[in-house]
A and B are shown apart, each in its own frame.
Chain A
Amino acid sequence: EVQLVESGGGLVQPGGSLRLSCAVSGFTFSNYWMRWVRQAPGKGLEWVASIKQDGSEKYYVDSVKGRFTASRDNAKNTLYLQMGSLRAEDTAMYYCARVASNRGSDFWGQGTQVTVSS
């Protein structure tokens, strides 16, 4: 059974940092691109970042470039999102998702909530 489990969310002050993790099981992690997608309260879905199978390519939405870094440890079957210089507008539920060869996200985690507030 494919599973993705996010962790690491919480309440952080503006300007602070957090590292999100996404532990996966049930598939060969190193064969897939992965994505982070977020959803602010009451709002729609927003793509945050994508990372290639070996971590050699990474792409980010403009609003997080220079502040967030996606990475992965294929030996540990874990995806990460290092978040820095956090702003109130980064407050959202953060999901990790597997990217299928058809470029759809076919499996998602349950999400981890990040709240940026003083």
Chain B
Amino acid sequence: DIQMTQSPSSVSASVGDRVTITCRASQGISKWLAWYQQKPGKAPNLLIYTTSNLQTGVPSRFSGSGSGTDFTLTISSLQPEDFATYYCQQANSFPVTFGGGTKVQIK
């Protein structure tokens, strides 16, 4: 099984800050990496698919990059509505696996 290791597990940041979250796969997953945002009591929301493609309706301050085993989600200028938990997910092979999550909190 492919393990997805996300870091950090939490980050405290201010509005306007640049935030970077990393996700490392235990083996190569090609381009099959997605990022989700989840707010308390809500279902996850797809932000980025195939490593770097922005889902329709997602603000351009979100971006994804990476290849092989190392991937990054960047929020260029944190907005109040971005305080949430973020998950990476690989779909290169079954079982589909998620990272442990990164909680972005208000500093």
A47 touches B49 (CB 8 A): no
B43 touches A50 (CB 8 A): no
Distance A60 CA – B48 CA, assembled complex (angstroms): 24
* Partner of B46 from A47, A59, A104, A109 at Cβ < 8 Å: A104
Closest residue of chain A to B92 (Cβ to Cβ) is A103
Distance A110 CA – B50 CA, assembled complex (angstroms): 24
Provide 27 A-B residue pairs closer than 8 Å at the C-beta atoms, listed in order of the A residue: A35-B96, A44-B100, A45-B44, A45-B87, A45-B89, A45-B98, A47-B89, A47-B96, A50-B96, A59-B94, A60-B95, A95-B44, A100-B46, A100-B49, A102-B34, A103-B34, A103-B50, A103-B91, A104-B34, A104-B46, A104-B50, A104-B89, A105-B34, A105-B44, A105-B89, A108-B43, A111-B43
B95 touches A62 (CB 8 A): yes
Q: What 0/1 readout, one digit per residue, does chain B (85-107) give for beta carbons within 8 Å of chain A? A: 00101010011111111000000
Chain B interface residues (CB < 8 Å from chain A): 1, 32, 34, 36, 38, 43-46, 48-50, 53, 55, 87, 89, 91, 94-101
Residues of A close to B91: CB separation below 8 A: 99, 103-104
Distance A12 CA – B38 CA, assembled complex (angstroms): 27
Kindly identify, within residues 28 to 52 of chain A, every residue whose CB is under 8 Å from any CB belonging to chain B.
35, 37, 44-47, 50
A103 touches B87 (CB 8 A): no
Distance A32 CA – B10 CA, assembled complex (angstroms): 34
A106 touches B55 (CB 8 A): yes
Distance A39 CA – B89 CA, assembled complex (angstroms): 14
Closest 3 CB pairs of A and B: A103-B91, A104-B49, A108-B43
A110 touches B43 (CB 8 A): yes
Kindly identify, within residues 5 to 59 of chain A, every residue whose CB is under 8 Å from any CB belonging to chain B.
35, 37, 44-47, 50, 59
Residues of B close to A99: CB separation below 8 A: 91
Distance A28 CA – B94 CA, assembled complex (angstroms): 24
Check if A88 is an interface residue, CB within 8 A of chain B: no
Closest residue of chain B to A108 (Cβ to Cβ) is B43
B63 CB to closest chain A CB (Å) equals 15
